[in-house]
Amino acid sequence: MKRILQKTLLGLLGVLAVVYGLDWVSVTFRIPGNREIYSDIRVDQVFTDTNKYKELEYSLGAPVIERCVYALFPHGGFRPCWYVARHTMNVTNTD
């Protein structure tokens, strides 16, 4: 049983490594067809603070333009666009 689990885990890690490698090649060499690699998405900033009555107060900050990469995984220090597009509000606790 332990041997089967080890082989399954090793196989999954191998598949993940191959998928990440193909994703990296796609971003690096702009495959397919000389496509755009990066995009800029607006992310709204929201700051929270606790007042003296133990209630949360919200304040809006200036929106930030975040650069993202069109890929499945993060590359070059940029998060994937599919993730950034779903998280367009950054909430920061200032306590």
Q: How far apart are CA 20 and CA 72, in angstroms?
A: 8
Q: Which residue has the tokens 């929201």?
A: 46
pLDDT band, very low/low/confident/very high, at 95 (cuts 50, 70, 90) = confident
Q: What is the pLDDT of residue 32?
A: 86
- Number of folded domains that form the chain: 1
Q: Which pLDDT does position 53 carry in this prediction?
A: 94
Mean pLDDT of the 72-87 span:
97
Token representation of residue 1 = 């049983």
Q: Mean pLDDT score of the chain, rounded to an integer?
A: 95
User: In which domain, by residue range, is 32 found?
Assistant: 2-93
